Structure 1
């Protein structure tokens, strides 16, 4: 892992990120706004559930695909 490699957003995790979780809090963000969390394989489901339970999760995309989409 280099300093340039994105790491997982889970608390205390230092593993390379594989996924992008795009989310939006409708109480404070416009509908088109997308904030992002990064996730490793191990934490993707947990972070997705956390955002999903709040109605914030909009999309889960592989990091390599997100980069290609210009995310």
Structure 2
């Protein structure tokens, strides 16, 4: 199984977190997007989305969530 790489531009580290979000102006409440993040970038990605007032949550990335 291939591990997921961090969604931060230029980062090639293995992801350990899911950053779950949506843009309420264009996404319905049931539509959510997921970025994955390494430990070094999870806060950056969460803060980037939260600063735009997007609903965002962070959850652990488990092996079953990547299949």
Q: Give the root-mean-square deviation of aligned CA atoms.
A: 1.8
- 8 Å contact kept, 2:19–2:37: yes
Q: Which runs of 4+ in 1 moved over 2 A?
A: none
- CA drift of 1:65 comes to 7.8
Where do 5+ consecutive residues of structure 2 fail to align? none
How far apart, CA to CA, are the structure 2 residues paired with 1:22 and 1:48?
Answer: 9
- CA drift of 1:58 comes to 2.4
Match of 1:49 in 2: 47
Where do 5+ consecutive residues of structure 1 fail to align? none
Number of equivalences = 65
